[in-house]
Structure 1
């Protein structure tokens, strides 16, 4: 048990003992007397700890959150769609940020849904002009039906949007 959790355990036990002592004092005292009120006060000191105890047990029985899937460095790049991108560098000059694999990892947002992708630019990128690119979806079975040829989408990296795009064709590699 760590130092912090052992201190918390000690505090909870001390307050529980205080509450039990207050209940005993209250039960053996005459109503409307000073010991009676003192017993009530000792019992009330336990109330703030009850929420912490309930929270402790709720955390113990909460199901673990699965780790969201991501592109692994060993996963080869397989283009699934060819897109045309219009990047807006005036909004966020540091975007799009490239990852270690040289690809741009971002989200394609269509309507209220977002899909993780890796994008490989086909030619040199000039802000404000359309750029051709190939994209690989993290979950292609879910994403490809949402991106038919001609559909448009927004690009996001982190919490910032940095451009728009349109699907030109499905890749011959997929």
Structure 2
């Protein structure tokens, strides 16, 4: 079903319910108080209530929006950090994926992640050298660069245990060597 058909159907429903509500208001106005006709007319007027939220949402969507303001200070990024500068040596054990078809070695290249200790995460990156691959389930020693080493290094003392977060999944467990 295309979006235009859905929008057309919604408009028709709103118009029909509005007409029913207006008709109910007219009947209620001329009906004798306390009669069944007046009660049914009141009920017809109430049919309009669920549509009010849709009408308000439509009006809000028609309101002009301002462009989002640019942040005052750009957050630091590895793109501006330059060459890889290791800050810690760690041992990572990559978790096995849920699907056996995804159980492939970690290919060479640069990987960005968050290293999580308790409930604190620190942006980091590591490099798998060309011609090398890391097997899942086996520990591998790697060098890690922190985006903010002054903040992260005090938390990553020798023997500290952490998890590796990429996106919304923890992909590895590690410890500082």
Contact 2:116–2:165 (8 Å) recurs in 1? yes
Cα pair 2:124 2:144 within 8 Å, conserved: no
| CA shift digits 1:76-108 (9 cap, x unpaired) | 55335233123144576738855xx82223221
What's the C-alpha RMSD, in Å, of the aligned pairs?
4.1
**Number of the residue aligned with 1:147:** 153
Provide TM-score, normalisation by structure 1: 0.64
Question: How far did residue 145 of structure 1 move?
Answer: 0.6
Q: Is the 8 A contact 2:89 2:142 kept in 1?
A: yes
Is contact 1:104–1:120 with CA below 8 Å preserved after alignment?
Answer: yes
Q: Which residue of 1 aligns with 2:112?
A: 105
**Between 54-63 and 107-116, the greater mean CA deviation after superposition:** 54-63
Partner of residue 125, structure 2:
118
**Contact kept? 1:85, 1:165, Cα under 8 Å:** yes
1:156 is displaced (CA, Å) by 2.2
Count residues in correspondence: 158
In structure 2, stretches of 5+ residues that fail to align are 70-74
State the match for 2:84 in structure 1.
78
Partner of 2:72: none
- How much does 1:109 deviate? 0.9
1:35 aligns with 2:37: yes
In 2: Cα distance, 1:118 partner to 1:65 partner: 30
TM-score, normalised relative to structure 2: 0.63
Q: Which runs of 5+ in 1 are unaligned?
A: 169-174
